[in-house]
């Protein structure tokens, strides 16, 4: 249901067991998915004009 909100245009799903993030961006008719895997990558968020470091997202997390 949240995907039907007009102003809702971008979100992240963050994996807790490994450095992996899914970014969903609203397109004209559908949602675009981009996957990010590894601590060396950056994720840009268009709506707020920032780039998140995967290393910063997972700072303090110890993977087994």
Three-state SS for the chain is: CHHHCCCCCEEEEECCCCCEEEEEEECCCCEEEEEEECCCCEEEECCCCEEEEHHHHCCCCCCC
Whether residue 7 is predicted with pLDDT greater than 80 in this model: the reply is yes
- Give the closest residue to 43 by CA, choosing from 2, 1, 5, 11: 11
Greater pLDDT, 8 or 16: 16
Q: Give domain status of residue 62, yes or no.
A: no
Number of domains in the chain: 1
Q: Give domain status of residue 8, yes or no.
A: yes
Q: Give domain status of residue 64, yes or no.
A: no
Tens of pLDDT along 12-64?
Answer: 999 999 999 999 999 888 899 999 999 999 999 988 899 999 999 999 999 88
What is the extent of the structural domain holding 49? Answer: 2-57
Q: Give domain status of residue 63, yes or no.
A: no
Whole-model pTM: value is 0.87
Q: Give domain status of residue 52, yes or no.
A: yes
Q: Give domain status of residue 45, yes or no.
A: yes
Confidence class for position 5, pLDDT limits 50, 70, 90: confident
Q: Give domain status of residue 24, yes or no.
A: yes
Q: Give domain status of residue 51, yes or no.
A: yes
């Amino acid at each position: 249901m949240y995907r039907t909100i007009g102003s809702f245009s971008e979100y992240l799903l963050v994996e807790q067991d490994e450095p992996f993030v899914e970014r969903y961006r609203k397109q004209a008719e559908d949602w675009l998915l981009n996957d990010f895997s590894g601590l060396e990558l950056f994720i840009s968020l268009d709506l707020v004009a920032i780039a998140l470091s995967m290393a910063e997202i997972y700072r303090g997390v110890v993977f087994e």
